[in-house]
């Protein structure tokens, strides 16, 4: 549920951000029903305007499953609306939960490829 909420909100955020929010450009931005397809479209430059987004670097890292550091998350949070920073009952924000989930998944991919050889 939380991931779906964050993703749907993210689609609106991306549409509002493209080309400084010019209405014609927002209407033509392709919106995909699934997170991976949206990220793939952005990172494969299927729409050149995406590289102009302020949040483009963080979208690339999410797509490439790289760990997001606190300064990057803080810079991203400045762009969010108040309801996207809402405090949940467990004292985490929606963004905190999404970033924790992302970083855990990214770390699991990183450490799957790491082996320790004892001789």
Report how far residue 96's alpha carbon sits from residue 92's, in angstroms, rounded to the nearest whole number: 6
Q: What are the domain boundaries of the chain?
A: 2-112
Structure-token pair, residue 7? 């993703």
- Exposed (0-12), middle (13-18) or buried (19+): which is 17, by Cβ within 10 Å? buried
Considering only residues 54 and 49, tell me which one the structure prediction assigns the higher pLDDT: 54
pTM of the prediction?
Answer: 0.59
At residue 3, the pLDDT reads: 44
- Token pair, residue 40, equals 């793939």
pLDDT of 32 higher than 50: no
């Amino acid at each position: 549920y939380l991931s779906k909420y964050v993703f749907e909100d993210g689609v609106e955020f991306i549409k509002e951000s493209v080309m400084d929010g010019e209405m014609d450009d927002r209407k033509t931005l392709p919106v995909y029903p699934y997170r991976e397809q949206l990220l793939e479209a952005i990172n494969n430059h299927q729409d050149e305007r995406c590289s102009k987004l302020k949040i483009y670097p963080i979208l690339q890292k999410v797509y490439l499953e790289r760990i997001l550091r606190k300064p990057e998350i803080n810079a991203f949070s400045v762009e969010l609306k108040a309801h996207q920073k809402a405090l949940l009952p467990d004292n985490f924000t929606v963004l905190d939960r999404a970033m924790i989930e992302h970083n855990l998944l990214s770390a699991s991919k990183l450490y799957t490829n790491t082996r320790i050889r004892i001789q």
